[in-house]
């Protein structure tokens, strides 16, 4: 079952759901609105490698906004830090954002019980669109869990995104491969004249 506004507020009072900063007007009937943080990142290389720590270039969104273009993956981050204990959080785009052709996540809309961090967004667009830091970007929906959770996200050794960061976090897929099979990213060497 999805938590209602009253249930979300009640669980916040108990500390089982945390959203910072909290704004009462962002609490919907059965969701909580989150906003785009000040940073975006793009991968440096055009071809990514699942076995490598792919490098990113991060930048701050200017006051006048930034135009996202089709064919480019952008990593964004929520303005809000969240903690979810005993519930499964889902991050979905707002309908107003979707109607601008902005996708805020490729496949990673579900969080885990025990997730305590900012949300990294995997953003792409259908048409060029100007975005702004602080704009509403998505909504968190909370589901009840059936049964007892043996290991929440914050306690799992295999959890790759536990380090709290206000900055977009690139893929850490390479950690799924044994160390000897991982690739080191190489930087292009300057050409000699």
DSSP structure class, residue 61 = P
Give the burial class of 138: count Cβ atoms within 10 A of its Cβ; 0-12 exposed, 13-18 middle, 19 or more buried. Answer: buried
Out of 64, 83, 92, 122, which one is annotated catalytic?
Answer: 122
Note the Cα 11 to chain centre separation in Å: 22
Nearest one of 177, 174, 113, 111 to 140, comparing CA atoms? 111
Task: Say if residues 76 and 35 touch (Cβ distance below 8 Å).
Answer: no
Active site residue 122: yes
Q: Are 80 and 20 spatial neighbours (Cβ–Cβ below 8 Å)?
A: yes
Residues tagged active-site:
122
């Amino acid at each position: 079952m999805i938590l209602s506004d009253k249930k979300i507020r009640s669980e916040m009072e108990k500390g089982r759901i945390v959203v910072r900063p909290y704004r009462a007007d962002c609490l919907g009937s059965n969701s909580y609105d989150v906003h785009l943080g000040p940073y975006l990142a793009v991968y440096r290389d055009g071809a990514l490698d699942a076995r490598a720590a792919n490098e990113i270039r991060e930048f701050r969104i200017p006051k006048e906004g930034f135009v996202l273009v089709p064919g480019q993956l952008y990593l964004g981050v929520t303005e809000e830090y969240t903690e979810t204990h005993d519930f499964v959080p889902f991050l979905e785009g707002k309908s107003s954002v979707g109607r601008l052709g902005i996708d805020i996540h490729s496949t990673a809309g579900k969080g885990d019980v025990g997730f305590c961090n900012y949300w990294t967004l995997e953003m792409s667009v259908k048409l060029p669109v100007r975005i702004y830091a602080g704009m509403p970007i998505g909504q968190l929906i909370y589901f009840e869990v059936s049964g007892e959770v043996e290991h929440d996200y914050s306690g799992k050794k295999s959890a790759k995104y536990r380090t709290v960061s206000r900055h977009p976090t690139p893929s850490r897929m390479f950690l799924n491969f044994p160390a000897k099979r991982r690739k080191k990213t190489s930087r292009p060497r300057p050409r000699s004249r």
